[in-house]
Amino acid sequence: MLNGEMKLARPLRWGMVGGGQTSQVGYKHRIGALRDNGAFELVCGAFDVDAERCTEFGTRIGVQAERCYGDFHRMLAEEAKRPDGVEVVSVATPNFTHYEITKACLEAGLHVICEKPLFFTVAECEEIEQLAASKNLIVGVTYGYSGHQMLMQMKAMIEQGKIGDVRMVDLQYTHGFNAADGDHLSEAQAWRVNPKTSGSTFVLGDLATHTFYMAHRILPNLHIEKLMCDRQSLVPAHAPLEDNAHVLFHYNNGAVGRLWTSSVDAGNMDAQRIRIVGSKASLQWSAAYPDDLHYQVQGEPNQHLHRGMPYLDEQALEYERMGALHTEGLGDSWANVYLSIALAIDAANRGAKDELEAVQYPDVKAGKEGVRWLENCVRSSESGSAWVAYQ
Amino acid sequence: MLNGEMKLARPLRWGMVGGGQTSQVGYKHRIGALRDNGAFELVCGAFDVDAERCTEFGTRIGVQAERCYGDFHRMLAEEAKRPDGVEVVSVATPNFTHYEITKACLEAGLHVICEKPLFFTVAECEEIEQLAASKNLIVGVTYGYSGHQMLMQMKAMIEQGKIGDVRMVDLQYTHGFNAADGDHLSEAQAWRVNPKTSGSTFVLGDLATHTFYMAHRILPNLHIEKLMCDRQSLVPAHAPLEDNAHVLFHYNNGAVGRLWTSSVDAGNMDAQRIRIVGSKASLQWSAAYPDDLHYQVQGEPNQHLHRGMPYLDEQALEYERMGALHTEGLGDSWANVYLSIALAIDAANRGAKDELEAVQYPDVKAGKEGVRWLENCVRSSESGSAWVAYQ
Amino acid sequence: MLNGEMKLARPLRWGMVGGGQTSQVGYKHRIGALRDNGAFELVCGAFDVDAERCTEFGTRIGVQAERCYGDFHRMLAEEAKRPDGVEVVSVATPNFTHYEITKACLEAGLHVICEKPLFFTVAECEEIEQLAASKNLIVGVTYGYSGHQMLMQMKAMIEQGKIGDVRMVDLQYTHGFNAADGDHLSEAQAWRVNPKTSGSTFVLGDLATHTFYMAHRILPNLHIEKLMCDRQSLVPAHAPLEDNAHVLFHYNNGAVGRLWTSSVDAGNMDAQRIRIVGSKASLQWSAAYPDDLHYQVQGEPNQHLHRGMPYLDEQALEYERMGALHTEGLGDSWANVYLSIALAIDAANRGAKDELEAVQYPDVKAGKEGVRWLENCVRSSESGSAWVAYQ
Amino acid sequence: MLNGEMKLARPLRWGMVGGGQTSQVGYKHRIGALRDNGAFELVCGAFDVDAERCTEFGTRIGVQAERCYGDFHRMLAEEAKRPDGVEVVSVATPNFTHYEITKACLEAGLHVICEKPLFFTVAECEEIEQLAASKNLIVGVTYGYSGHQMLMQMKAMIEQGKIGDVRMVDLQYTHGFNAADGDHLSEAQAWRVNPKTSGSTFVLGDLATHTFYMAHRILPNLHIEKLMCDRQSLVPAHAPLEDNAHVLFHYNNGAVGRLWTSSVDAGNMDAQRIRIVGSKASLQWSAAYPDDLHYQVQGEPNQHLHRGMPYLDEQALEYERMGALHTEGLGDSWANVYLSIALAIDAANRGAKDELEAVQYPDVKAGKEGVRWLENCVRSSESGSAWVAYQ
Ligand SMILES: NC(=O)c1ccc[n+]([C@@H]2O[C@H](COP(=O)([O-])OP(=O)(O)OC[C@H]3O[C@@H](n4cnc5c(N)ncnc54)[C@H](O)[C@@H]3O)[C@@H](O)[C@H]2O)c1
Ligand SMILES: NC(=O)c1ccc[n+]([C@@H]2O[C@H](COP(=O)([O-])OP(=O)(O)OC[C@H]3O[C@@H](n4cnc5c(N)ncnc54)[C@H](O)[C@@H]3O)[C@@H](O)[C@H]2O)c1
Ligand SMILES: NC(=O)c1ccc[n+]([C@@H]2O[C@H](COP(=O)([O-])OP(=O)(O)OC[C@H]3O[C@@H](n4cnc5c(N)ncnc54)[C@H](O)[C@@H]3O)[C@@H](O)[C@H]2O)c1
Ligand SMILES: NC(=O)c1ccc[n+]([C@@H]2O[C@H](COP(=O)([O-])OP(=O)(O)OC[C@H]3O[C@@H](n4cnc5c(N)ncnc54)[C@H](O)[C@@H]3O)[C@@H](O)[C@H]2O)c1
């Protein structure tokens, strides 16, 4: 149970690249980082490609004008000169810029919290992973849904054998907000369907990497051995990138899985779902109702577990804030993700290796595995949607 | 709206092969056929492999002892001698017997109502289709869920353009009742996992042919062009047949589809689901809540339509029995299926060709298309789950 | 588990008064009575106030023209002359006729199955109760929802102490189909809001007596000690009778209860709900999803029980027809109600007193208790919605 | 749409009385006040009856030790001496202390944000209302659920005539967390069932005042004219105060209402519900799924509206944070409540009368109306649960 008590000796000095006024995701970063836990304080930012808009917006969210920077290189240079300079930077810019910005921050000795999909290639991820390790710096990835407590409950129950052996993993992240896209795309939509700015995927990277990560967090011992990906641009304006994709996979333990991701699933408001089928029981969760977990033992009444209840596992209660009967939302999940990254950074700063190992957070490896999965999906897709060995 | 008024001049004289006391599905046939509509009266049966049990049970459900037959050959022979002999026979026996029994009935000049999956091969289906046509006889197939009215509502709304162009079809029929199967299988389970008695599939034929048919009924203009099937025996005792399968398909209009079927989806009680995604909206239905239809227009509030309401299309109200606010169940759906087949038989008997064409019912062609789909699934599966052109 | 096997030596010869072509409830009686169980066969009827329409309709539902009678007196007289004359009569006419018709039938030596609210006064009920007893005849009451199996599951669980001591009973039967009533009412609506034809209540008698009966069936040991009723004609055209009412009550064991009934609850499609709160847990059921039962133990995950599952109590499985995963609807409930009444009639006919005691069915006493409850509601209402001692 | 931009020139200097480490509600105040909007900064507190625990906890949530005070009188005295002294104080202590603390704060020239139920009597509320008015100070009341946006959507739709004339209001706030209370009560439970510390009610004040306020916020033109309250101590340890109560009421426009509140509704996790029935349609909302609003037009498909969608009214989008598809929880609602109170304080400080009028927030009048309602409930209850004219 969290009670708003500070977990760090003092808040980390935090800055952002991207996440400006028009950004879809910037506010979620601030909602997550600036929660009452005193883990972060926002000290600077290169919030926008437009320097003027950056300062105008930055000051309106409480950053001193002189620490609102027109570009991130200048931010790194100027902040480095200050005794109270930034310590950790969040990267909330379009995908193609993540690698360059992250690298520059690490080289400047700063921890990084980067958006997904982390980079374009596994090779880039590995390079950054090594760079961060060599400098004792943390790279966190904002899989923002992964802080929901009931996911930890799923994990705990599976570890305890409550569903038996895992046999089938059913993942979905689909919405319909691009179903009607015509020829004119919004800016945020335009970069997403351009391989130069988005990478080699649209919805697979934009949506499905979230769900893929959560499944991996819940089932750390399952590894994909082969995979098949079939993807389409059901709205022509999205070509050459996919707005709809189906992925099937076989795991090392004999279990199978499937994933559907789409941004043309018209009218669907129950976007993200995870079902884990075991030999005795199944667990089911939806991001639209994150406080609910469905536990279905074959041959017994179905069970509905509620967030915050004392019968939950301590893993699920660790980040509990509101208490039973009181709903939590995506902002709470982001707060949990940010808090876990803060704990990792703090442990790293203090050289507390064991503590660092113990913190569960979406790390650079998690980012890398997301990119690896995308590479395998693309490889299958480009081989005529053939089954491919997972590499 | 049905009101229990007789649709035929007199009830058809009806008999059964199979569907005996221990049978899983026999009672559903009688619930369907013997509804108050006066369409059928049960006059005879070869209900059981065991002749004694046949008579014992047959008399208990109101059949005269002398018309309870130890085997179906004798039933056909004896009934042929009577002036009030049987006119139509339902076949509710294990799969491997369907073809032989159906053929014998047709040759005896009787209409047939046969269980799914219809036969083992498309070739058999075509032979029977021609035999029936040559004799002006009807072969109906008991896709028992297909009588639910809200499926007709889906069909009507799609015809009227209410969802735009169809882009994605998502089908599921999964339950978990075989999740715990050990080495000892029940009789009804044993024949299902033996290729000699079940055919070349288990759950694909046992479960998924239902959902496949319903989707086809709703979307008569969509035809699969290529398909991929990946199937497993997640419980070893089910090998060599699959207890879990994933099928992906591409339609002629550019739409894509997927289907999951399983009998090891532990704890799932919301077994059968259909979602049709269009360019403007989606429609979603579950067999567990058959009176509800979900209509989701992108950018508008989601809608929940209820069976029996005056705002529904006349296609959906045609078989309405209970009226708004009053639930209908699977028995009502079976009654509708049986009634539609009776109407077809009656039209055929009267040589009323136009009427016959107008009746929507699961006919021999529907049975054949189910078998064709299974053949394609098996072909893909046996080619290493490769994509295959639909034949 | 029912399997369609005959429970009686032969079907009872059954007739109807009312329930004609335009009747709202007539078809439900036939759906219930004529189920495959061979308990009833429809032999005659005075289906309609209009003699011509009676015959026209009666023959269309399979009754011989000569046994379609223009009025019920003639029906009783003529049938009495036949060796194969009617044995049991269902009364599905407007409320004000129930008493007279029922009495005439009993005097003619026939069993009766009468619609609710049974009669206008408790005194009438007592008179009929004695008359029936003196002639060894059954009077059943068609509380048509009371055949749903999950109600029997509730009863069993409460008996077994699964919810602890009952503390609160929450009942609701509200719909909105009269929300927009203007000055012109349909025929079926007109008699319902006229005290001469409907009795001293509208929705309390028309709707709430159902729910009241079900609660009583589930909780046979709870008796109301005092009660308060507040009722309104929210649509002026319904005055002087209520279209909306709230009733509060105190039970003999210290438990309290409330009931809301309305026909102006605009848009509500989840009309009838029962919640029983105990000291340890609650049970909740809705007639809109009759296969589901919610069992909520304080401090544990909520449970969802499904009809047909082997974990249910034998009381709930006794009338099971379709089997787990397969929905049942209101027609199945009516069939169960009619079957239970047939079993009672058969036991009475055979003088099998113990068997008769063992049959659970809505009997004349249940009808009387419904009327008593209405009398108490009206008495409270007419005393300025004061609390009144239950008489 | 909120985007984290500061609404005030600078954060208000904020302190708390109560809400210490063991408090149930203290963290919710901080979650609400300390949201990223820069509206409040926590500068001091008398968090606990135990002075030591106060400082220990206060410093752990980031307050300077010297500004953690052993009692609130000292806090007011010391802070008054500082140039950067506290400006607004939240009161999160047991009910019986609210009046004294609020009065002292106002007399010290500070704005107050007080817990519900505001005070013990309407007379106290009126005194405080006048005191605050005379000093141009704000008294806000933390009806913490009232910040949920979909409540504003309800309000907007009703204003626009979307449901027609309001006819029935159905309110509920029930949970079961005290169902098993034995003789030993927790501290937080003990003061709640003692009239000296809780006031003349338990669940009516503790739970139902929330729902009552929300209904009033949505339906500002409806006023209760008469009321009936029946209340019980279903668990003896809660006597003499009620743990279960039913209230019925008649409004000035002819509409009726009911409310059920309970803390012994075993197993109920869908605690707080509001249904407004109009002549054309109804609206329904539950605090357990605060992002969903159900709009049910009689005779049309039921509609499900989702928070954050562009089709919502601007009143509902004003406080939108996460965007469509992304859940918000109770913490977001509290943040909205606190933000609205900050806007009111800021307007008052600037003497901006029109702005102040325009801010919708739970003000002292709202607190007073809650207390008035409690007084009427108690008066009815003490008159043998008779109907009483609302005073
Ligand atoms: N974790 C999540 O739930 C989630 C949700 C949405 C987006 N995202 C990810 O966040 C990233 C941003 O997505 P978005 O939807 O906010 O994009 P967007 O186009 O809406 O906003 C991008 C923001 O970055 C700024 N920007 C662009 N280039 C910049 C540069 N070189 N320097 C500084 N600022 C720059 C823009 O001015 C804008 O403010 C993407 O990687 C996306 O995949 C993640
Ligand atoms: N439409 C549906 O919803 C549905 C549901 C279940 C089963 N089915 C189908 O129904 C068929 C029967 O399945 P089941 O589950 O009832 O099987 P089952 O094993 O439970 O019952 C088979 C019945 O057929 C009888 N039988 C077997 N061989 C016979 C013969 N040669 N002559 C006469 N009787 C014979 C058996 O005695 C038994 O009564 C299968 O084709 C199955 O796929 C359909
Ligand atoms: N159990 C239930 O669920 C349920 C549902 C609806 C109605 N009801 C009850 O059923 C009864 C009938 O209601 P309804 O809605 O069908 O009414 P209705 O007005 O729709 O139909 C009444 C029927 O009775 C016939 N009738 C009237 N007087 C007659 C007479 N003297 N002799 C023969 N026939 C006569 C009419 O011609 C008509 O066919 C009422 O008591 C009502 O409370 C029960
Ligand atoms: N708005 C809501 O949703 C909500 C929820 C819960 C409680 N409440 C209300 O909040 C108030 C507190 O309830 P709670 O459940 O947190 O109670 P609690 O007993 O859990 O906590 C009370 C807190 O106040 C402190 N306190 C008591 N007297 C004090 C004093 N004189 N000076 C300083 N601190 C003092 C205690 O040390 C403790 O920290 C009550 O009025 C209650 O009705 C509101």
Nearest CA in chain D to B309: D299
Q: Is A263 in the pocket of ligand 1 (CB under 6 A)?
A: no
Residue type, C56: E
**CA distance, residue A356 to nearest chain B CA (Å):** 37
D163–chain C Cβ distance below 8 A for any pair: yes
In chain A, which residues have their Cβ closer than 8 Å to the Cβ of B228?
Answer: 228, 230, 385
Which is more confidently placed, C183 or D161?
Answer: D161
What is the distance in A from the centroid of ligand 3 to the CA of C47?
Answer: 9
State the pLDDT at residue A36. 82
Cis peptide bond N-terminal to C94, omega within 30: no
Residue segments in chain A with a per-residue pLDDT below the cut of 70: none
- Write the residue with the smallest CA distance to atom 4 of ligand 1: A25
- Write the residue with the smallest CA distance to atom 6 of ligand 3: C25
Answer yes or no: do A266 and B297 touch at CB < 8 A. yes
The first and second tokens of residue A39, run together, are 């883990």
Kindly list the partner chains of chain C, i.e. chains with 3 or more CB atom pairs below 8 Å: A, B, D
Q: Please check whether the domain covering B148-323+370-389 is classified as CATH 3.30.360.10.
A: yes
State the pLDDT at residue B266. 98
Answer yes or no: do D269 and C386 touch at CB < 8 A. no
DSSP code of residue B308: T
In chain D, which residues have their Cβ closer than 8 Å to the Cβ of C305?
Answer: none
A226–chain B Cβ distance below 8 A for any pair: no
3-state secondary structure of A250: strand
CA contacts within 13 A on the Cβ side of A29: 31
Classify B12-145+337-362 by CATH class: alpha beta
Complete DSSP assignment for A131-158: HHHHTT--EEE--GGGG-HHHHHHHHHH
State the pLDDT at residue B184. 83
What is the distance in A from the centroid of ligand 4 to the CA of D83?
Answer: 29
Answer yes or no: do D38 and A321 touch at CB < 8 A. no
CATH of D12-145+337-363, one of 2.60.40.60, 3.50.50.60, 3.30.870.10, 3.40.50.720: 3.40.50.720
Answer yes or no: do A5 and D61 touch at CB < 8 A. yes
In chain C, what percentage of residues exceed pLDDT 70? 100
Query: Which ligand 3 atom sits closest to the C-alpha of C143?
Result: 1
The first and second tokens of residue C178, run together, are 């009269």
In chain A, which residues have their Cβ closer than 8 Å to the Cβ of C291?
Answer: none
**CA distance, residue D321 to nearest chain A CA (Å):** 8
Facing residues of B111 across strands? B88
Mutation choice for ligand 2 from B22, B24, B75, CB with most ligand atoms inside 8 A = B24
Answer yes or no: do D301 and B301 touch at CB < 8 A. no
The first and second tokens of residue A190, run together, are 């335009």
- Write the residue with the smallest CA distance to atom 14 of ligand 4: D24
Q: Which fold has domain A12-145+337-361?
A: Rossmann fold (3.40.50)
State the pLDDT at residue B37. 79
pLDDT digits (tens, 9 = 90+) for B267-279: 999 999 999 999 9
pLDDT digits (tens, 9 = 90+) for D49-75: 999 999 999 999 999 999 999 999 999
Give the C-alpha separation, D68 to D45, whole Å. 5
Nearest CA in chain C to A295: C301
Give the C-alpha separation, A182 to C265, whole Å. 42
Divide the 391 residues of chain D into consecutive groups of 10 and give the mean pLDDT of each group. Answer: 94 98 96 92 97 97 97 98 98 98 98 98 98 98 98 98 98 97 86 97 98 98 98 96 98 97 98 98 98 98 98 97 97 98 98 97 98 98 98 96
Q: How high is the mean pLDDT of chain B?
A: 97
Give the C-alpha separation, D260 to D262, whole Å. 7
Answer yes or no: do A301 and C295 touch at CB < 8 A. yes
Answer yes or no: do A306 and C305 touch at CB < 8 A. no
Question: From the CA of B52, which ligand is nearest?
Answer: 2
State the pLDDT at residue A126. 98
- Write the residue with the smallest CA distance to atom 9 of ligand 1: A115
pLDDT digits (tens, 9 = 90+) for C129-179: 999 999 999 999 999 999 999 999 999 999 999 999 999 999 999 999 999
Answer yes or no: do A301 and C303 touch at CB < 8 A. yes
Q: Do domains D12-145+337-363 and D148-324+370-389 have the same CATH topology?
A: no
DSSP code of residue A387: -
Domain boundaries, chain B: 12-145+337-362, 148-323+370-389
CATH code of the domain occupying A148-322+370-389: 3.30.360.10
Residue type, A390: Y
* DSSP E strands, B127-237: 139-141, 166-174, 224-232
Mutation choice for ligand 1 from A22, A115, A203, A206, CB with most ligand atoms inside 8 A = A115
Interface TM-score (ipTM) > 0.95? yes
Question: From the CA of B186, which ligand is nearest?
Answer: 2
State the pLDDT at residue C181. 82
Which residues have a Cβ under 8 Å from the Cβ of C162 and sit 6 or more positions away?
C278, C280, C281, C295
**CA distance, residue D196 to nearest chain B CA (Å):** 49
The first and second tokens of residue A6, run together, are 């500070």
Pocket of ligand 2 (CB under 6 A): B 17-20, 22-25, 46, 48-49, 72, 92-95, 97, 115-116, 142, 144, 187-188, 206
Query: Over 90: is that where the pLDDT of B182 sits?
Result: no
Give the C-alpha separation, A359 to A345, whole Å. 10
Chain D 39-58, residues with CB within 8 Å of chain C CB atoms: none
CATH code of the domain occupying C146-323+370-389: 3.30.360.10
Query: Which ligand 3 atom sits closest to the C-alpha of C72?
Result: 32
B217–chain C Cβ distance below 8 A for any pair: no
State the pLDDT at residue D182. 79
Which residues have a Cβ under 8 Å from the Cβ of D239 and sit 6 or more positions away?
D193, D233
Answer yes or no: do D325 and A271 touch at CB < 8 A. yes
Answer yes or no: do D304 and B302 touch at CB < 8 A. yes
C266–chain B Cβ distance below 8 A for any pair: no
Answer yes or no: do D322 and A328 touch at CB < 8 A. no
Complete DSSP assignment for B276-316: EEESSEEEEEETTSTTEEEEEETTS-EEEEETT-TTS-HHH
- CA D131 to chain centroid: 21
Residue type, C75: M
CATH code of the domain occupying D148-324+370-389: 3.30.360.10
Kindly list the partner chains of chain A, i.e. chains with 3 or more CB atom pairs below 8 Å: B, C, D
What is the mean predicted confidence (pLDDT) over C212-240?
97
In chain C, which residues have their Cβ closer than 8 Å to the Cβ of D298?
Answer: 176-177, 179-180, 266-267
Query: pLDDT grade, residue B130 (50/70/90)?
Result: very high
* Pick from B31, B53, B33, B39: nearest CA to B7: B39
3-state secondary structure of A17: strand
pLDDT digits (tens, 9 = 90+) for A125-141: 999 999 999 999 999 99
pLDDT digits (tens, 9 = 90+) for C254-274: 999 999 999 999 999 999 999
In chain B, which residues have their Cβ closer than 8 Å to the Cβ of C61?
Answer: 4-6, 36, 38
* Pick from C342, B167, C354: nearest CA to A180: B167
Dihedral, CA of residue D50, residue D55, residue D58 and residue D62, to nearest 10:
180
Report the 10 Å Cβ neighbour count for A119. 26
Give the C-alpha separation, D245 to D257, whole Å. 14
**CA distance, residue A168 to nearest chain B CA (Å):** 8
Answer yes or no: do C177 and D277 touch at CB < 8 A. no
Tell me the torsion sign for CA atoms C62, C66, C72, C75.
negative
Dihedral, CA of residue B211, residue B213, residue B214 and residue B215, to nearest 10:
90
Complete DSSP assignment for B344-370: HHHHHHTT-HHHHHH----BHHHHHHH
Give the C-alpha separation, B69 to B82, whole Å. 14
What is the distance in A from the centroid of ligand 1 to the CA of A95?
Answer: 8
C196–chain A Cβ distance below 8 A for any pair: no
- Write the residue with the smallest CA distance to atom 2 of ligand 3: C144
